[in-house]
Structure 1
Amino acid sequence: MAAADQKPLGSGFHAKSEPHEILAGIDLTGKTAIVTGGYSGIGLETTRALVGAGATVIVPVRDPAKAEENLSTIEGDVSSAKMDLANLDSVRSFASSVYDSIETLDLLINNAGTMACPLDRVGSGWESQFGINHMGHFALTKALLPLLEKAGAPRVVALSSVAHKRNGILWDDIQFEHSEYDKWVAYAQAKSANALFANALSRRMQSFGGRSFSVHPGGIFTPLQRHLPQAEQIALGWLGAGGEVSEAAKPMFKTTTQGCTTTLWAATSALLDDMPGVYCEDCDVAQLAGEKSLPYQHCAPHITVDADAERLWEISETLLAAA
């Protein structure tokens, strides 16, 4: 991809489009999808919408009891299997179970994640936000690539965030081994990694007609905020003094159903057939950020650099091989 590709296509949708609008006229009968984190927040609504359009959906779950309760609200072909993105053995076990149950994979939605959490280590000492949001999904996608290759025009959607604009990859200290940990810098790095991953993956899928994209779902109150005290959310301007959504945040924040629609659009829109690796927001390709861009919109140039996407892919391969 190139920075020049980052401009809206005029999809006809908008920031607060609903799932039924995005999937109107789209029949996913016979298609199989995997949605990580597909039993909570916007992931649950993504699962619900895909199943409603006829897809068979498999949901990897870290909390089987919660998943059973939430997924029971969906009528259709949906199942779950245990997986923890922080544990590579768990990721490999889930991938192996998938090979026993399906022959092809049409859609992989890398939706799960963690945000602004205290310093923790997963895998081989990886900083947890990078390890869960990027490396766990990297390992899962690599393991499932043969199933994607067997499908007709498969798509992978990686959930990034506008938080990527804060900073890119900390090439000299990705794991915060030599610098002071900052939870927001770590989150921005992980979300930049998600976008660069989609960039690099798209080139690897072109030979079999596949595409990958990254998306910013928008601001949504979900369990993703679980590590943020209410006082911090008030300081950020997301909540008012009484804990309610602030007046300033109301125009920006979406419902959970609206929060899944950019993912659904990226997973299904024919407009993206010739736009591999782009970053999307508000149910369209995101505009490249400029001086007039607001903090919560558009795409920073650093996630459009193919050389950096390839550099991150090579580093991720090395980390995965050593784990």
Structure 2
Amino acid sequence: MNDIWTAQHIPDQTGRVAVVTGANTGLGFETARMLAEHGATVVLAVRDVEKGKQAAARMGGDVTVQALDLTSLHTVRAAAADLRAAHPRIDLLVNNAGVMHTPRRTTADGFELQLGTNHLGHFALTGLLLDRLLPVAGSRVVTVASTGHRLRGAIHFDDLQWERSYDRVAAYGQSKLANLMFTYHLQRRLAPHGTTVAVAAHPGVAATDLARDAHPALRLPLTWFSSVLIQPATTGALPTLRAATDPAVLGGQYYGPGSRGELRGYPRLVTSSPASYDLDVQQRLWAVSEELTGVTYPLG
């Protein structure tokens, strides 16, 4: 597999319908922009519709905007209904939107904000759109994870919503570990169907506003860290774009920057933490996610 993969390697996307969450800024914007520039019909699924329209105006190609608030299962269901009505087929779903290191807050459904946004909202959206993906040969679900899944990353089934105590870094790690476990378990369930694959990616350290909610004590170190190692969002989006478009990608794979430590560089195949491959925890997390969201997948 070629170690140097750039946006020039993106194949023609003409005829593909791509839905990208959190696409009005940062990595999501660059992912959506490049897909549209290569011919895809792109839907920017965003919380702020006005910002989404402004983002769409800066892109070329066939780009529309869909309201999506991952912090409310009611609006996730409404968005999924709109997307199903507008698109009989979906070739690509990019679960990109996310929050990081927020103070403890809850979603409209009472979920801890990072788990609710990063994992449960996307879990529900994917399940509600899956029947638009399954009939499409070569369709993909790409979920954006993070190296943060290694930082105290564990699934705390005894206090999943951090109600007894709260650690914003560990809560973020849990949500990103959940993204990976979701991808790996989804791929096993998709495999017998032979049409859709699930893939994960992470951007390394990229110029986005994701750390805007970091604790004040962390902001300065993060700013210094980013100033030394930062790469532009155009580069940070490449692992997602490779996972979404490279014909050589296989289901269940994970792509990230190629440098030591996976902080920056061109995208390559990487591995996640040993904890992420625990099949029993994956299965338990899936069952809990179905129970919490009320969404079951049409996979038998």
Q: If the length of structure 2 is used for normalisation, what is the TM-score?
A: 0.90
Q: In 1, distance between residues paired with 2:55 and 2:150?
A: 33
Q: In 2, distance between residues paired with 1:32 and 1:177?
A: 40
Gaps of 5+ in 1: 1-9, 288-298
The CA deviation at 1:235 is 2.9
- Residues 159 and 214, structure 1, Cα contact 8 Å, conserved in 2: yes
For residue 269 of structure 2, what is the aligned residue in structure 1?
A: 285
For residue 256 of structure 1, what is the aligned residue in structure 2?
A: 233
The answer as to 2:276 corresponding to 1:303 is yes
- List aligned pairs for 1:1-323, cutoff 5 A: 10-13=1-4, 18-19=6-7, 21-23=8-10, 26-166=11-151, 167-178=153-164, 180-206=165-191, 207-228=193-214, 232-236=218-222, 238-239=223-224, 245-246=226-227, 249-250=228-229, 253-273=230-250, 276-282=251-257, 283-287=267-271, 299-321=272-294
The CA deviation at 1:123 is 4.1
Q: Deviations over 1:19-41 (max 9, x none)?
A: 2x331xx1111000000011110
Q: In 1, distance between residues paired with 2:142 and 2:65?
A: 19
Q: In 1, distance between residues paired with 2:55 and 2:273?
A: 35
Q: In 2, distance between residues paired with 1:170 and 1:254?
A: 33
| AA in 1 matched with 2:252 | G
Q: In 2, distance between residues paired with 1:171 and 1:22?
A: 41
For residue 263 of structure 2, what is the aligned residue in structure 1?
A: none
- Over the matched positions of the two proteins, sequence identity in percent amounts to 36
Gaps of 5+ in 2: 258-266, 296-300
Q: In 2, distance between residues paired with 1:150 and 1:115?
A: 34
| AA in 2 matched with 1:122 | T
Q: How many residues align?
A: 284
Q: In 2, distance between residues paired with 1:36 and 1:73?
A: 17
| AA in 2 matched with 1:117 | T
Q: Which secondary structure does the structure 2 equivalent of 1:239 belong to?
A: helix
Q: Deviations over 1:85-119 (max 9, x none)?
A: 00111111111111111111110000000000000
Q: Deviations over 1:200-240 (max 9, x none)?
A: 1112222142111111111112121211366522234x328
308-317 or 112-121, larger mean C-alpha shift: 308-317
Higher relative contact order (CA 8 A, sep 6+): 1
| AA in 1 matched with 2:238 | T
| AA in 1 matched with 2:186 | L
Q: Which secondary structure does the structure 2 equivalent of 1:193 belong to?
A: helix
For residue 291 of structure 1, what is the aligned residue in structure 2?
A: none
- The Cα RMSD (Å) is 1.7
Q: In 1, distance between residues paired with 2:127 and 2:93?
A: 11
- Residues 135 and 195, structure 2, Cα contact 8 Å, conserved in 1: no
Q: In 2, distance between residues paired with 1:271 and 1:184?
A: 34
| AA in 1 matched with 2:150 | K
Q: In 2, distance between residues paired with 1:213 and 1:186?
A: 23
- Residues 127 and 176, structure 1, Cα contact 8 Å, conserved in 2: yes
- Residues 110 and 157, structure 1, Cα contact 8 Å, conserved in 2: yes
| AA in 2 matched with 1:200 | H
- Residues 105 and 150, structure 1, Cα contact 8 Å, conserved in 2: no
Q: Deviations over 1:36-66 (max 9, x none)?
A: 0111101000001000111001111111121
The CA deviation at 1:81 is 1.4
Q: In 1, distance between residues paired with 2:29 and 2:255?
A: 20
